Amino acid sequence: MLRDLFRIDISPLVWPVFRRHLIVFSRNWKVNLTFNFFEPLLYLAALGLGLGAYVLPMEGLPYLHYLAPGLVASSAMFATTYECTYGTFIRMEFQKSFHAMVATPVTIDDVIAGELLYGTFKSVLYGSVIIIVITVLGLVGSLWVLLVPLVLAVAGLLLAIISITWTGLVPNIDNFNYFFSLIITPLFLFSGVFFPVSGLPEIIQKAAWFSPLYHIVNLTRSLVLGQVDLSLAGELIWLLAAIALLLPFPFYLMRRLMIK
Amino acid sequence: MDVIVAQNLTKEYNGFRAVRGINFRVREGECFAFLGPNGAGKTSTVRMIYCFSPVTAGQLTVLGMDVRTQAREIKSRLGVVPQENNLDPDLKVLQNLLVYATFFRLPQRQARATALEMLDFFGLADKADEKVDALSGGMKRRLTIARALINKPRVLILDEPTTGLDPQARHMVWQRLRRLKEQGVTLILTTHYMEEASQLCDRLVVMDQGAILEEGEPRQLIAKHIGTEILEVGFAAAREREIVRELNGLIRGHQVVGENIFLYPHDGQELLRVLQKMPFHFGHQFLRPATLEDVFLKLTGKKLHD
């Protein structure tokens, strides 16, 4: 099994697979994008303005300024995790697209690599859209913000890996609810999007270190606010290490599912 | 030249032996069918040919290449029409073909030319901008075959190409497949329709429970096992022994099917006359041409469809 885990057969045919997803995306990108940035805007309005009026400055910032970069990270997370659970599953199970692709020179590993790239793409795009919005709203304080898309790419790849691993482990559309209520929602709430983790009991603070979103939020917020120091390298290393560690699993699990 | 050679080909799923060490060869330019009921191992066999399922044991070469080591090369030269429609519902008709072409790394201009040619060939030229879901079952099937031809393969594999189609749509597919064969494309198909096998195939193997029971040309198989005609005699099964004894010189064989007996006459008209003089009361007596279904029935003792 260990040998199977690392025998990944990918080729340049990953690109046409990814391109197929982009073509489909480009057909209704307006609708997709509109809905996706609508929700973060609601949070920004309700919590940033509404609740924020009653909240003391956080880490020296007005609440709206604190919240905005967090929402960049979280909307990237939601875009990718939805795509690589529901989206991937629908393509595999209902549309039988994977089956169609692997009847060509494309391998199942190429297909999965294409899915990961698409998940990454969604993170970058949906996070960047929120960046533009908060820039327009005057909530961005530094040119370091230009590096956020790179962070979103790393973040997107990791979240895509995690999502497809879940999809490969529990290939059942009803069980994606558990993924969101047991994993994604807790990450959303306790990774420093809405408030600093430092105010929480120590055990939760320690748990937060294991949350990918915690590191993504730290990076995003620091770059948006221009608070750049060497600790950010640590956050990036955390994400890259997690990618290196988990990368073989989506391939292995989907191969196991598809190849019979 | 043989485009496909299988030796002792075996497929197991978690210990279940779906294909039990079969041997066959497919010649270039012929139409070759795997005929058998559901669960016979036909789909498992063709899935190994198009490198979707790994071979459990035995040898399998496609176009001279080993499926174990040269899957990508083999797949680049095959056309595959799977059992389930898996057209891309997110793409329009023409786009389905164009995007599929990119998986073969075909140059865009060439892909477009082939795609338009194929749509035309399959009577779908006016549907190029339609959504796939707007097509009828027959059109979807034709589009799936068109898609499989985008890389101009010399070998086309069709897993139950007309299952679920109405007779008219089925004939349309058959007609196109015959024209492809005339153009020299090797056709490999699985089917449980006798008519499909006899209409299209040069040679076929009859499969049941993972094994090949017989191999040959459709007419030859019918002639070998049955003859030319069948006389069906209703409600005669109870008197099987008496009838067979009485008609001994007139029939080559017989098969009990439910309450009826199928007799294989040397001379159908003659047998019918003799039968009508017998002092038994039968149900219907029906003289008809023998088919592959009768061969299958004789080989397995069961019908292809229940």
Q: Which chain A residues have any C-beta within 8 angstroms of a chain B C-beta?
A: 11-13, 16-17, 19-20, 23-24, 27, 95-97, 99-107, 259-260
My answer on whether B31 and B162 are in the same domain is yes
Structural contact between residues B269 and B229, judged by C-beta atoms closer than 8 angstroms: no
The shortest C-alpha distance from A41 to chain B (Å) reads 29
Choose, out of A10, A98, A104, A111, the residue to mutate when testing the contact with B (most B CBs < 10 Å): A104
- B160, B265: one domain: no
Answer yes or no: do B127 and B242 share one domain.
no
- Domain identity same for B231 and B86: no
Quote the minimal CA–CA distance from A66 to chain B in Å.
Answer: 39
Nearest CA to B48 among B31, B78, B68? B68
pLDDT at A5 over 90: no
In a domain, B129, yes or no: yes
Residues A47 and B123: beta-carbon distance below 8 Å = no
- Which H, E and C letters describe B10-74, residue by residue? EEEECCEEEEEEEEEEEECCCEEEEECCCCCCHHHHHHHHCCCCCCCEEEEEECCEECCCCHHHH
In a domain, B13, yes or no: yes
Write down the ipTM of this complex.
0.90
The nearest CA of chain A is from the CA of B199 a distance in Å of 27
DSSP strand E in chain B: where?
A: 2-13, 16-27, 31-35, 57-62, 65-66, 78-81, 155-159, 186-191, 203-208, 211-216, 229-233, 251-257, 260-265, 285-289
Query: Tokens for A187?
Result: 């990450």
- CA atoms of B79 and A216, how far apart (whole Å): 45
Q: Residue B160's domain spans which residues?
A: 2-217
A74-78, A238-242, B239-243: which has the minimum mean pLDDT?
B239-243
> Do B81 and B62 fall within a single domain?
yes
CA distance A138 to chain B (A): 38
- The chain A residue lying nearest B53, using CA atoms, is A260
Tens of pLDDT along A144-172? 999 999 999 999 999 999 999 999 998 88
pLDDT at B91: 95
| Identity of the residue in B84, B87, B103 whose CB atom sits nearest the CB atom of A105 | B103
Cβ of B72 and A19 within 8 Å? no
What mean pLDDT, rounded, does chain B reach? 91
Interface mutation target, options B52, B55, B81, B90, chain A, most CBs of A under 10 Å: B90
Cα–Cα distance measured from residue A23 to residue A25, given in angstroms and rounded to the nearest whole number: 5
Q: Are B235 and B247 in contact (CB under 8 A)?
A: no
CATH of residue B252: 3.30.70.860
Pairwise CB contact (< 8 Å): B72 & A105: yes
Model pLDDT for residues B248-267, shown as the tens digit of each residue: 888 888 888 888 889 999 88
Helix (H, G, I), strand (E, B) or coil at A131: helix
Cβ proximity of B79 and B50 under 8 Å: no
What does the DSSP assignment read for A71-117? HHHHHHHHHHHHIIIIIHHIIIIIS-HHHHHHTTT--HHHHHHHHHH
Cβ distance of B76 and A104 shorter than 8 Å: yes
Q: Are residues B137 and B207 in the same domain?
A: yes
Q: Are residues B16 and B104 in the same domain?
A: yes
**Residue B195 included in any domain:** yes
Q: Report which residue type is found at A154.
A: V
Residue B305: its pLDDT value, please? 60
Nearest to B103 among A24, A27, A106 (CB): A106
**What average pLDDT is seen over chain A?**
92
Residues of chain A with Cβ-Cβ distance to B89 below 8 Å are: 95
Q: Which pLDDT score, from 0 to 100, does residue A173 have? A: 86
Q: Give the confidence band of A59 by pLDDT, cuts at 50, 70, 90.
A: confident
Query: With 90 as the cut, is the pLDDT of residue B129 above it?
Result: yes
* CB pair distance less than 8 Å for B103 and A104: yes
In a domain, B248, yes or no: yes
Is A105 within 8 Å of B89 when comparing Cβ atoms? no
Q: Does the residue B303 lie in any domain?
A: no
Query: Chain B: which residues have CB within 8 Å of chain A?
Result: 13, 50, 52-54, 71-73, 75-76, 78, 80, 82, 84-91, 95, 99-100, 102-105, 151
Q: Tell which of B69, B73, B85, B102 to mutate to test the A interface (max A CBs under 10 Å).
A: B102
Q: Which residue of A has its CA nearest to B11?
A: A260
Q: Are residue B51 and residue B186 in the same domain, yes or no?
A: yes
Least confident of A30-44, B101-115, B168-182: A30-44
Cβ neighbour number for residue A142 with a 10 Å cutoff: 14
Are B104 and A104 inside 8 Å of each other by CB? yes
Dist. CA B130–CA B94, nearest whole Å: 8
- Name the residue in chain B with its Cα closest to that of A102: B52
**Cα gap A174→A89, rounded to integer Å:** 11
Is B135 found in the same domain as B242? no
B156 lies in the same domain as B264: no
Instruction: Convert the pLDDT of each residue in B204-233 to its tens digit.
Output: 999 999 999 999 999 999 999 988 899 888
**Residues B140-145, mean pLDDT to the nearest whole number:** 95
Is the confidence at residue B238, as pLDDT, over 90?
Answer: no
pLDDT tens digits for range B277-298:
877 777 888 899 998 888 888 8
Query: Residue A1's pLDDT is what?
Result: 61
CATH number where B178 lies: 3.40.50.300
The tens digit of pLDDT for each residue in B268-277 reads 888 888 888 8
Instruction: Name the domain count of chain B.
Output: 2
For B8-48, write each residue's pLDDT tens digit: 999 999 889 999 999 999 999 999 999 988 889 999 999 99
Quickly count: other Cβ atoms within 10 Å of residue A71's Cβ: 27
- Kindly list the residues from chain A whose CB atom is less than 8 angstroms away from the CB atom of residue B82: 96, 99-100, 103
Partner-chain residue, chosen from A17, A96, A103, that has the shortest CB–CB distance to B80: A103
Q: What is the pLDDT of residue B304?
A: 63
Find chain A residues with C-beta within 8 A of B146's C-beta: none
**B247 and B200 in a common domain:** no
In the predicted model, what is the mean pLDDT of residues B143-166?
Answer: 93
The verdict on residue B25 lying in a domain is yes
A241 pLDDT tier (thresholds 50, 70, 90)? very high
Residues B110, B66, single domain; the answer is yes
Between residues B281 and A79, the one the model is more confident about:
A79
**Alpha-carbon Rg of chain A, whole angstroms?**
19
- The answer to whether B88 contacts A103, with C-beta atoms less than 8 Å apart, is no
Query: Of residues A218 and B166, which shows the higher confidence score?
Result: A218
H or E element, residue A220: helix A212-225
Is residue B234 in some structural domain? yes
| Two structure tokens written together for A178 | 């558990």
Predicted local distance difference test score (pLDDT) of residue B121: 93
Least reliable range by pLDDT among A33-37, B81-85, B127-131: A33-37
pLDDT value for B103: 97
Kindly tell me if the per-residue pLDDT of A184 is higher than 60.
yes
Quote the CA–CA distance of A190 and A206 in Å, as a whole number.
Answer: 11
Question: Least CB-CB distance to A23: which of B78, B91, B105?
Answer: B91
Domain C-terminal end among B182, B217, B252: B217
Distance from CA of A183 to the nearest CA of B (A): 30
Separation CA A190–CA B57 (nearest Å): 52
**Closest residue by Cα to residue B214 from B157, B156, B292:** B292
Lowest mean pLDDT among A110-119, A243-252, B199-208: B199-208
